Structure 1
Amino acid sequence: MTLDNTGTTLVVVYLTSLLLVGWLAKQASGESSLKDYYLAGGSLGAMSLFFTLYATQYSGNSFFALPGKAYRDGIMAGAFIVGVMSIVLVYQLYAPRLLRIAQRENFISVGDFILWRYRSTPLLFAVNAVFVVVLVTFILGNLKAIGLLLSTASGGTLGFAPAIVLVCVIMAIYETLGGMRGVIWTDMIQGLLLMAGSLVVFLLLLTSTDNGIMNEPARLVQVTGEFFSQPIPTIQFISLVLLIALGAAVYPQAIQRIYAARNITVLRRSYFFMFFMPLLTTLPLFLIGFSGADWFPDLTRSETEQVVIFAIGDLLGAGSDSGSGLSLSWLLALYIGAAVAAIMSTIDSGLLTMGSILNKDFIARRHPQLPQDQLHRIGRRLTWVLMAVMAIMAIVLPNTIWSLLVLKLELVIQVFPAVVIGLRFSKLQSSSVLAGLIVGCAIAIALRLWPEMSPAPAVHSGLWALLGNLATLGLVQLIKSRHKKYEVSQ
């Protein structure tokens, strides 16, 4: 299904508005420093922090993969909703304490915390290597998704490669102009689109004359009964919830937003509202996907991920037959705009965080004599360089590379001990954390390549890898502790 002239105009206006927001963010910039560019000066209020967390947390997967999984697997897809809500609970374990330390020590990158806590350059490189791999796959996957989405929505008028280049140029401009402030202000627009795109489409579909089960109380009761009578694969459900909650809570872009909060009260208030947002964003999309199995039976796997688009098309067709099709033509544009917003907010935050890793943890550390304004200029140039590299890779690399995207949570969860446990246990040593991280990543990759090696396939490979990580960490910690006691006794 392609956008008509009205829909195309709405999407163009949205993309153009992001450039204006980037320019306004530049005017609001107070200084030329790394803290201002990467953390918006560390002065985010509750509203700004909430919207940037909200927009960053949801990607194109929420609008396509989740409804498709709900169509195919029913209640099992609900693990995603529970997992996303649980992320906030994990934040509460470490975010307030991390913010206090970050403000006292003037952290900018995640690596600043690693060096402050462990005083270990090898661990810094290992953690950053994991983060860079995760961010690269994150950005590449979303660039490919937005290229396909805009190419399809334009009916092929805008090709796959030009669509990627167009979006990359827009993001590079507003991010270069405003840094994190530009990203956050655009996140506010994107967050509103996210919320509207899921809620409005959901309400219109479920109250429509043809497909709306809300107009048929008996059918609504039947579908609800079928939903709750489904057997839940408990182990697999819990495994996915834990993988999402523990992994996504230590995404580097999420940690950097902790640094940017004005104070702990602002942080807690933002997390409070974040806890309920899956009920307004992912739950409606989940219900559409689940209902879609009744509306459009026998879809192929690839078609299930377009079930919301099919439902919108059905609604537009019904509106056209009744003479109201023109008034509903904005609905497809709203949904596509929301999906584009979700994808762009994921890409721009990942790109900014990757830039901070390279600029602060490598360039600034290697050249400590460089002044802040020069590092600020380097950061802006890095944005363009990284965006160009990501765009070329997204266009050129073969599709098989995208199968590695499933590794992002399995890998990033291996950093959980270094960040969360390291904050809680002061005696945790860098050598123990490094050994656990290496073993955990090796297990995650091995189980992804050879899934038959898994002791229990229902448990995600990332959790088995985390268990290996923690076991190695504990063993090395014990050996080090006993060795130290032996040296003292001698």
Structure 2
Amino acid sequence: MIPLAAASETPSNLGPGGIAVIAVYLGIMIAIGVAGRFARKENSLGDFFLGGRSLGFVVLLLTLYATQYSGNTLIGFAGAAYRNGFAYLVSLPFMMAGIGFYLLYAPKLQKLSREHDFITLGDYIQRRYQHRWLTTAIAISGIVALGNFMITNLKAMGQMTAVVAGDYLSPAQGIVILAIIILIYETLGGLRSVAWTDVLQGILLLLGCTIIFTATLSNLGGLTGAAERLQEVRPTFWQPLDFGGCLTWVSTAIIVSLGFSLYPQAIQRIYAAKSPKVLRRSLQVMVFMPLVTTLLMVAIGLLGNIAHPGLDKAGSEGITMLVLNDYAATHPAAKWVVYVFIAAVVAAIMSTADSVLLAIASSATQDLFRPLLKTNDQKQLTLLGKVISTGVMIACVLLSINLPQSIWALIQIKVELLAQTAPALLCGIHFRKVNSRAVFAGLIAGIAIVLFFHIGHAYWPDAVIAKPLGIHAGLWAVLINLGIIWGGSRFASQSKNT
């Protein structure tokens, strides 16, 4: 990612016309928020956080899509592909496998959510295990991971501000403005407004990925010409992975797909589906969406090596805009391509940020504060959720402006933390005899291992290996987590029978 200080020096690429286009788009977002407010059926947590459980096929598909693909996809994935070459095609199977993991639990969880009026994943965990500490730990770890995710998207907002209005606004000012707009339409209509805005944002995202890939390939002389030039510029990209590289590749696919499938904002949409049939159809289509999103962005990162070789890590995070500017420079009449893609990036960032914010607010309200307040007053709890949304947004804005971490480093922490919830959810869904204390112990051990390796490697890189034996620390943590659940549940069962 371009550092905020450096990005602020980037001149505006769009000019007044492009800025006006983005301003109109943002105005539409607010209008949709107002429409969502008027469509509200009741002032309740179920209506605000789940849209009244009424999302149909098209809205559910596009809100899942827009939420799954964020500013990280359009900026971080291309940057990682620029640096790592064809090995980063791992992002394609982990995005597709994530949908496969949904199918392991989503249909049954959606049915249970309707039977018991679940609002959050914590509601299911509490009902299944009757262990308040376990529910609280899962809620807190999810909130921390989502806060991490929120910061990465706000950082991307700063970068886009430098591109859209670098002559008029600093990245920090852009972050604040876009954050306020998200708060407005989200607090007005809740998930209903967020899902409706996602329909427009999802369409823009599809258009943006397709247009920039076509434009980039055209500028490089087609697929054959691009492949030949890439062979000359980065011949190492064409070398096959060794055994260690393959092991890391598989490890990445598993841990990231596990983490992606446990997004609390995606679980909200599972609950909000109109019916099990609508949910299944949406997930079936979602399996193929990486082919028209992730694959295209990885290709853009690879092709970026041809026109802009030798970029460092910070510079490579801006490769998408560099290759797009190349196309606009050689085709002055196609300035609209830049407008569409910038709108797509802004849409991707905002669609994920608003969903993350809503998921954090719902979990904090339902899983943490409601048990403490001991109230079922829906109006009061909904108001509390809106207050929490505002507070979380303010905190994340401040952190996003000041934290120096790269997008990909933050993504790694997020998915590995979220993946530690998978054993509790999947074991609870598919096995009857699972001991709640063993599940709690497994979760805590998994989280501790993830934090130890990430923090340890950050401060003592020579002493703590980030990927022991080439396998992500988060996957080791999941395996130990599962082992503790299995061993603890078996021991508890034997003790009970003796």
**TM-score, scaled relative to structure 2:** 0.90
CA distance in 1, matches of 2:226, 2:237: 17
What is the CA distance between 1:241 and its match in structure 2? 0.6
Check 1:76–1:221 CA distance in 2 against 1; reply closer, same or farther (3 A cut). closer
Within 5 A, what are the aligned runs for 1:300-379? Answer: 300-319=312-331, 325=332, 327-379=333-385
1:171 is aligned to 2:182: yes
Worse-matched range after superposition: 44-53 or 65-74: 65-74
The corresponding residue for 1:195 is 206
CA drift of 1:399 comes to 2.1
**Distance in 1 separating the partners of 2:105 and 2:223:** 42
Q: Whole-Å Cα distance in 1 between the matches of residues 361 and 115 of structure 2?
A: 23
Aligned match of 1:126: 137
2:404 counterpart letter in structure 1: N
Contact 1:90 1:246 in 2 (8 A): yes
- Between the aligned partners of 1:13 and 1:150, the Cα distance in structure 2 is 15
Report the 3-state secondary structure (helix = DSSP H, G, I; strand = E; otherwise coil) of the residue aligned with 1:399: coil
Q: Deviations over 1:151-197 (max 9, x none)?
A: 34322421122111101110010001110001101111111111111
Displacement after TM superposition at 1:217 (Å): 9.2
> Which one of 227, 250, 253 corresponds to residue 238 of structure 1?
250
Cα separation, partners in 2 of 1:304 and 1:99, compared to 1, 3 Å: same
In structure 1, C-alpha distance between the alignment counterparts of 2:421 and 2:388, rounded to whole Å: 25
Q: 1:260 offset after TM fit, Å?
A: 0.6
- Give, in angstroms, the shift of residue 457 of structure 1: 4.4
Query: Structure 1: which 5+ runs fail to align?
Result: 320-324
Structure 1 residue 274, shift from structure 2 partner: 0.6
Q: Cα 1:376–1:19, aligned 2, differ >3 Å: closer, same or farther?
A: same
Offset at 1:333? 2.2
Q: Over residues 31-90 of structure 1, what are the superposed CA-to-partner deviations in whole Å (9 max), with x where a residue is unaligned?
A: 111100000011111111111110111121211221122222111111111100111111
Q: What is the percent sequence identity of the aligned residues?
A: 36
The amino acid that maps onto 2:346 is V
> In 2, distance between residues paired with 1:348 and 1:459?
33
CA distance in 2, matches of 1:145, 1:217: 28
Q: Is the 8 A contact 1:443 1:468 kept in 2?
A: no
Whichever residue aligns with residue 391 of structure 1, its letter is V
Given that residues 139 and 364 in structure 2 are in contact (C-alpha distance below 8 angstroms), is that contact kept between their aligned partners in structure 1?
A: no
Secondary structure in structure 1 of the residue aligned to 2:468: coil
Contact 1:15 1:170 in 2 (8 A): yes
Q: Which residue of 1 aligns with 2:404?
A: 399
The equivalent of 1:431 in structure 2 is: 437
Tell me what 2:261 maps to: 249
Moved more, 276-285 or 327-336: 327-336
- Judge conservation of contact 2:149–2:410 (CA < 8 Å) in 1: no
Q: Following the alignment from structure 2 to structure 1, what is the Cα–Cα distance between the partners of residues 388 and 486?
A: 39
- TM superposition shift of 1:344: 1.1
Of stretches 278-287 and 398-407 in structure 1, the one that deviates more from structure 2 is 398-407
Aligned partner of 1:61 in structure 2 is: 72
Question: Is 1:97 aligned to residue 108 of structure 2?
Answer: yes
Question: Is it true that 1:386 corresponds to 2:392 in the alignment?
Answer: yes
Matched, 1:159 2:170: yes
Q: Which amino acid aligns with 2:222?
A: I
- Check conservation: 1:43, 1:260, Cα contact below 8 A: yes
The separation in 2 between residues aligned to 1:285 and 1:218, in whole angstroms, is 16
Alignment match, 1:409:
415
Change (3 A) 1:481 1:437: same
Q: Does 1:84 align with 2:90?
A: no
Once the two structures are superposed, residues 11-34 of structure 1 have per-residue CA deviations (whole angstroms, 9 ceiling, x without a partner) of: 111111100110111111111111
Q: How far does residue 254 in structure 1 lie from its aligned partner after superposition?
A: 1.2
Q: Which of 199, 207, 217 matches 2:218?
A: 207
Letter in structure 1 aligned against 2:449: I
Cα separation, partners in 2 of 1:102 and 1:218, compared to 1, 3 Å: closer
Q: Provide closer, same or farther for how the CA distance between residues 12 and 116 of structure 1 changes in structure 2, counting only shifts above 3 A.
A: same
Would the aligned equivalents of 2:256 and 2:416 in 1 still touch at CA under 8 Å? Answer: no
2:271 paired with 1:259: yes
- Cα RMSD of the aligned pairs, angstroms, is 2.3
**457-466 or 289-298, larger mean C-alpha shift:** 289-298
Report deviation, 1:285: 1.3
> Where do residues 30-41 of structure 1 align in structure 2 (5 Å cutoff)?
30-41=41-52
For 1:425-479, what per-residue CA distance to the aligned partner results, in whole angstroms no more than 9, with x for missing partners? 1111110110001111111111113345457342111101111211222222222
Asked whether the 8 Å contact 2:33–2:184 carries over to 1, the reply is: yes
Q: Which moved more, 1:97-106 or 1:302-311?
A: 302-311
Asked whether 1:24 is paired with 2:35, we answer yes
Aligned equivalent of 1:322: none
Matches of 2:365 and 2:118 in 1, distance apart?
13
Aligned match of 2:448? 442
**Structure 2 CA distance for partners of 1:400 and 1:87, relative to 1, 3 Å:** closer
User: Do structure 1's residue 108 and structure 2's residue 135 form an aligned pair?
Assistant: no
Conserved 8 A contact 2:136-2:368: no
C-alpha deviation, 1:125, in angstroms: 0.9
Distance 1:405 1:242 in 2: 14
- TM score, norm. by length of structure 1: 0.92
- Give, in whole Å, the separation in 1 of the partners of 2:176 and 2:300: 32
Paired AA for residue 184 in structure 1: A
- Determine the C-alpha separation between the residues in 2 that align with 1:449 and 1:180: 35
Deviations 1:311-338 (A, max 9, x none): 111111112xxxxx1x311222222221
Number of corresponding residues: 476
Structure 1's 214 and 381: CA in aligned 2 closer, same or farther, altered over 3 A?
same
* Deviation, structure 1 residue 417: 0.7
- Cα gap change, 1:162/1:216 in structure 2, threshold over 3 Å: closer, same or farther? closer
Unaligned runs of 5+ in 2: 1-10, 458-462
